[in-house]
Amino acid sequence: MNNRDACIILNMLSGIGFVKYKALVNAFGEPARIFSATKPELTAVKGISDTLADKILSYQEHVDLDNELLLAERGGVQIITLADKEYPEVLKNIYDPPLCLYIRGKLPEFNNNSVAIVGSRKMSMYGERMTKSFAQEAV
C-alpha cells in the first residue's frame, strides 16, 4: 500500500478526521505504515479507541478502495490527498484540512482572495441550500 491509497482509505473510514490522522502519522511516520501496526500500537495513539483500531485493521470490510478509485475515474474526478505534492499548501495550513480533495476540473490558483466551501459528499437538503446561499453571496 502506498501513502496516497492509505490517505484515501483513512478518509473513507468513519471516525477519522485530520486530528486522528495527524496523530497516527506522527506515531507511524507515514500513512501507509498505519496499516502495518498492531492493535496495541494503534490504541497507544491518543484518540484511537479499541473500536477504531479494529476498524483500521479490518478496513477492507468497511472500504472498497478499488471501487472508490473506479468511481472517481468514471466520474472524471481527481482525488488529491494530503500525501500528494499537488495538495494545495494553503489548505495544509488551515486548522482542520480535509484528508482528500475530490476535484472535477482544475484547481484554481490560490491567492489571498480565494474562498472555498468544503463539505461532506452526502449533503443534506439544508447543506445544499446553505452552500448555494454562501456561494451566491461570495460571488
Print the SS3 string covering 57-99: HCHHHHCCHHHHHHHHHHCCEEEEECCCCCCCHHHHCCCCCCC
Kindly list the distances between the CA atom of residue 33 and the CA atoms of 3, 6, 59, 99, 119, in Å, as whole numbers in the listed order.
8, 9, 14, 16, 28
More reliable by pLDDT, 119 or 97:
97
Per-residue model confidence as pLDDT tens digits over 3-48:
999 999 999 999 999 999 999 999 999 999 999 999 999 999 999 9
Statement: residue 131 has pLDDT above 80: yes
Which pLDDT band, with edges at 50, 70 and 90, does 121 fall under? low
Give CA–CA dist 133/65, Å, rounded: 34
Write down the pLDDT at residue 76.
Answer: 93
Please, are residues 59 and 22 in contact by the beta-carbon 8 Å criterion?
no
Mean pLDDT for the stretch of residues 109-135: 78
Q: Provide the residue count of the chain.
A: 139
Q: Please, what is the end-to-end C-alpha distance for the chain in angstroms? A: 41
Query: What is the H or E stretch that residue 104 is in?
Result: strand 100-104
Give CA–CA dist 35/28, Å, rounded: 9
- The structure's pTM equals 0.81
C-alpha cell at 2: 502506498
